[in-house]
Amino acid sequence: MANILLTSSCNRSCPYCFARNEISGPSGGQRLSWENLIYIADFLWASGQRKVSLLGGEPTLHPQCGDFILYLIDRGFKVTVFTNGILSPSRLKEFRRHLTEMPLEKLDLVCNLNDPVLTPAVPQEMQRLNSFLAVMGPWTRAGFNIYRLDFTLDFLFDHINRFSMKRRLRLGIAHPVPGSQGSFIPTQDLRSVVTRLYSFRQLFETYRISLRLDCGFPLCKFSDQELGWLYRSGSHSPFGCGPALDIAPDMTAYHCFPLSNYKRKSLFEFNSLEEINKHFSQLRDEIRTEIPGIYEECDGCHCREGGVCAGGGMCQIVCRFLGEAPIRPAGIEDEISKYRMSK
Amino acid sequence: MRSPNIVCPNSESLLQKFKGHAVALRMNSCDHIAEGVAHLRKSGNTLFCVIVESDRPLAEIQFEDHHRGIPLAVMVPAAGRFRDLAAHLHRVRELNLRVYLPCDNPDNLTSLRILSSVGIHCCAVFGNGRTDWESLADLATYAVLERSPHAPIEPFAFIVSNYPASKRLDWGRVFFDDPGHFLHLDEDGRVALSQAELAEKRFVAQSLGEIGAPDEFPPIRERLRSWRHYFTDNHPCAFCAGWKICLGKFSPSLSENAGCSGFFTEMIDLVRQHTALKVALQEQRIWQL
């Protein structure tokens, strides 16, 4: 699936934001034009892709966000919108009027929620979020990014029940962003994250909420029992680190948010999604040849070699490169030097 | 020359004045379509199409089920917001319809691309002196060379399907402006050779009856041969690389249309590329036999 970034503006400032290299603040910033959206839709359609995700910044800050969603659905795409749910009253009115008749299989919203205690929001934001969920709850999945070890999930279950949200939770870990400061889970703490996550198992089962893990979890940090639970909750093979393929408003494409500055290339240089995937596969091979995974044990691991586990996120490996002397091949060092220079 | 099609206002009494013509009925609202078509059928003429000239954006026009099957040319100032259009797009797509948008507003160039990409046949109306020729060339490139399925955008689709023409071919007929194909009548039945001349009340006959055989009627014959003056008068358009498609359409306001030459030269190149693409596709088909 391709991610289309509608705008670089965002109205929230999350401590773990892995898009921070791309974000410009609540106003200004770049916006995707209609012409470019049509180009992307044609490009994806011609490549056989029928699913798109809309992201930002905060995609609902784009003045034509509603139009873009309706357009892509009309073009035959299944659209997923990643939002923080903090919509202005006028934008919410627009959503209520134009999107609440939409079949659930055509439109999917992922609302990224922050813990109200550990990452408090101002009352107006909470009010807007609640209003959004009251209207769009049935179309919305809850999303949560783990960025500290004492995370809780109780508030998510409360939101899902209160607003009749989809009973699926998208859970990600906050990744380090090369060249940038922000909260994230270090690789040595991933086991603790899994242990804590498993402690919520009873709540997942009680409320019949399925779990979908985002990229970057290493398989070896789960016990067989935990893996069985994951499998039964519907989170199949969450151990990859494939290109998310983000397309920015300036029509450049990159592997994923944390690696947004790594071998970024204009979409106009490609003729199909296949070509883009090839470009980013080369990037992956280049990095994985140097270091197979985030742990020493990844080298020679049969799960990694068999393609079941990617060996953690590439962004974590690139961060490791950054802390080293420049000993890597020129292709990597050229990219790494961009981060070093921007420091 | 066959009998020209008639473009005339939706008036029952006017329609009674002639017979046996294909008629494009002009009206300013979709509310009168059924009534106009009924009058036309009673008059002994056939329907070429209904031209709806509305002040409202396309998104605000309500089409009805009984409009299906009637050829409609809808001339609107803008497409409107997509969110408003989206709700009745399925109905619009079921119609035999072409949407005309003026390109003096840059937003309409975007709207044309949007409409085409969602399968609505549309037409760029340009050449009023405020045309952004570069953006128009981008739109033409999209219309002609885009690989993804999309509805035709006129006049580019007409141009690429009909050029290179072995004889003079006026793409103005897409806008009902070609005296070889369309004559324009006012409420009183007076005849003009184009929509603009009708608006300026420059009539060539007081009634259709005066015209007789159109190709022998001097003003029409003269108009169809007027392109020759560009060569006899050494007009700059006659030396323009884009002449073969443009045919001097923008010469009256040449200074305002400084970009027209570049645009039509590019259009010729697009025709060549389109033809090459078609040939390549046909060659591929041979191997699939």
Spatial CA neighbour of B169 closest among B181, B183, B151: B181
Give the C-alpha separation, A112 to A50, whole Å.
23
Phi/psi of residue B97, nearest 5 degrees = -130, 145
Phi/psi of residue A68, nearest 5 degrees = -65, -40
Give the C-alpha separation, B103 to B153, whole Å.
13
Q: Do the beta carbons of residue A218 and residue A312 sit within 8 Å?
A: yes
User: Within chain A, which residues score under 50 in pLDDT?
Assistant: none
A272 touches chain B (CB under 8 A): no
Interhelix angle A190-198/A224-232, nearest 10 degrees: 60
Among residues 65-124 of chain B, which lie with CB inside 8 Å of chain A?
81-83, 86-87, 89, 110, 113-114, 117-118
Give the C-alpha separation, A175 to A18, whole Å.
7
Instruction: Quickly state the pLDDT bin for B244 (edges 50, 70, 90).
Output: confident
Predicted model pTM: 0.92
Phi/psi of residue A51, nearest 5 degrees = -125, 135
Give the C-alpha separation, A311 to A187, whole Å.
11
Nearest CA in chain A to B107: A34
A35: distance to nearest CA of chain B, Å?
A: 7
Distances (CA, A) of A245 to A1, A267, A278: 8, 11, 12
pLDDT at B286: 61
B133: distance to nearest CA of chain A, Å?
A: 16
> What ipTM describes this predicted complex?
0.89
Give the C-alpha separation, B248 to B227, whole Å.
7
Mean pLDDT of B85-107: 93
Sheet holding A265-266, edge to edge: A210-213, A168-173, A140-146, A107-112, A78-83, A51-55, A2-5, A246-247, A252-254, A265-266
Sheet holding B182-185, edge to edge: B153-154, B122-125, B97-102, B72-75, B46-53, B22-27, B5-9, B182-185, B191-192
Instruction: Quickly state the pLDDT bin for B109 (edges 50, 70, 90).
Output: very high
Cβ-nearest to A46 among B82, B114, B148: B148
pLDDT digits (tens, 9 = 90+) for B141-176: 999 998 889 999 999 999 999 887 777 778 999 999
Contacts of A97 in chain B (CB under 8 A): 83
pLDDT at B285: 63
Give the C-alpha separation, A54 to A68, whole Å.
9
Helix (H, G, I), strand (E, B) or coil at A203: helix
Q: Do the beta carbons of residue B267 and residue B156 sit within 8 Å?
A: yes
Burial group, residue A189, by CB count within 10 angstroms (0-12, 13-18, 19+): middle
Q: Is the per-residue pLDDT at B256 higher than 90?
A: no
Report angle CA A85, A90, A96 to the nearest 5 degrees. Answer: 70
* DSSP codes of every residue in B166-189: SS---GGGGGT--TTTEEEE-TT-
Q: Do the beta carbons of residue A327 and residue A238 sit within 8 Å?
A: no
Spatial CA neighbour of A233 closest among A200, A264, A268, A192: A200
Give the C-alpha separation, A89 to A100, whole Å.
15
Say which CATH superfamily domain A2-272 falls into: Aldolase class I (3.20.20.70)
Spatial CA neighbour of B162 closest among B152, B148, B151: B152
pLDDT digits (tens, 9 = 90+) for B208-234: 888 888 888 899 988 888 888 889 988
Mean pLDDT of B126-130: 77
